[in-house]
A = this chain, B = another copy of it.
Amino acid sequence: MRNLNQDTITQAVIARFAGTPDARLKELMTSLVQHLHAFAREVKLTEAEWLAGIQFLTATGQKCDDKRQEFILLSDTLGLSMLTVAMNNDKPAGCTEATVFGPFHVEGAPHYEHGADVANGAVGEACMVRGRVLGPKGEPVPGAVIEVWQADAEGKYDVQREGLDHAQARGVLTAGAGGEYHFRSILAEAYPIPDDGPVGDMLRATRRHPWRPAHLHFMITAPGYESLITHVFRDKDTYLDSDAVFGVRQSLIADWVRQPDGSYLVEYDFVLAPAK
């Protein structure tokens, strides 16, 4: 195929994927090429803009390491992450909704007993978190594995702390016989997503703020149920209606209640959907 022009090149590229053995991969590549080219045609992308895009994507990849995932941040801030979550988590009524995974989960978080302080030295006001893991008929899910992670009072996850060699404000618990869980941690606070990289440059250039409303991350797994990746958001947060990553669901907002001793208490029951 020679002399391709802006009207013929898209079909020529798609034809090149005709021999892809995996039907799903062929479908993905075909659609990707169509939409990528449609974008370039719609904006009549200039060569300078093309190069700026190449440089932006390169810098985004190079900002990533074992503790920083700039491409997830990019996906989050462009709404692609939440769109993907929304398309793949159409849960039955009454089940806890999912939201974005985010870039701060790490494998190998420490296991804790009920009542333990998962903060493990992270700075912040004391907060007790408790509730139950249930199935859609209200049945307890004993043994459900509950992983929690959160930022500290300064808006930093442990992996953002240079030189810190142990987990803070993240941990794994196992639900009790009645599906119950409880642990101590610190009060979640609103924080800006890391904006010292290409995604931060994009946010500044477009006058978007980098803030996320205060939240706890949860990932909950149990045999016979769909895995749940979600947040519990803190009520009355300034950024609930302008989350930088579009992740807020009303059903995930809980009351964080100040106790007489100055600490906080948040209670939240998770309802898992049955496995498909």
Contacts and interface: CB of A to CB of B under 8 A. Distances in A.
B40 A84 contact: yes
Given A4-B86, A9-B86, A206-B20, A57 B57 contact: yes
Copies of this chain present: 2
Contacts of A38: 35, 38
Contact of A78 (B28, B36, B206, B242): B36
Interface residues of A, number: 74
A88 B82 CA distance: 35
Interface string A140-171: 00000000000000000000000000000000
Given A2-B248, A59-B61, A249-B2, A10 B45 contact: no
Given A32-B39, A61-B64, A79-B13, A84 B50 contact: yes
A228 to B, nearest CB: 12
A71 B84 contact: no
A93 interface: no
A87 B41 contact: yes
Contact of A83 (B10, B82, B240): B10
A177 interface: no
Which of A26, A44, A57, A87 neighbours the largest number of chain B CB atoms within 10 Å of its CB? A87
A106 interface: no
30 contacts: A1-B241, A1-B242, A1-B246, A1-B248, A3-B248, A4-B82, A6-B86, A9-B79, A10-B79, A16-B242, A20-B205, A20-B206, A22-B205, A25-B206, A29-B206, A31-B42, A32-B39, A33-B79, A36-B39, A36-B80, A37-B79, A47-B84, A47-B85, A47-B88, A50-B75, A50-B80, A54-B71, A57-B71, A58-B61, A61-B61
Given A9-B86, A31-B39, 13 more contacts: A1-B241, A1-B246, A6-B83, A13-B79, A19-B208, A20-B206, A26-B206, A28-B45, A28-B49, A35-B36, A35-B39, A41-B83, A59-B61
3 A-B pairs with the lowest CB-CB distances in the bound complex, closest first: A61-B61, A13-B79, A35-B39
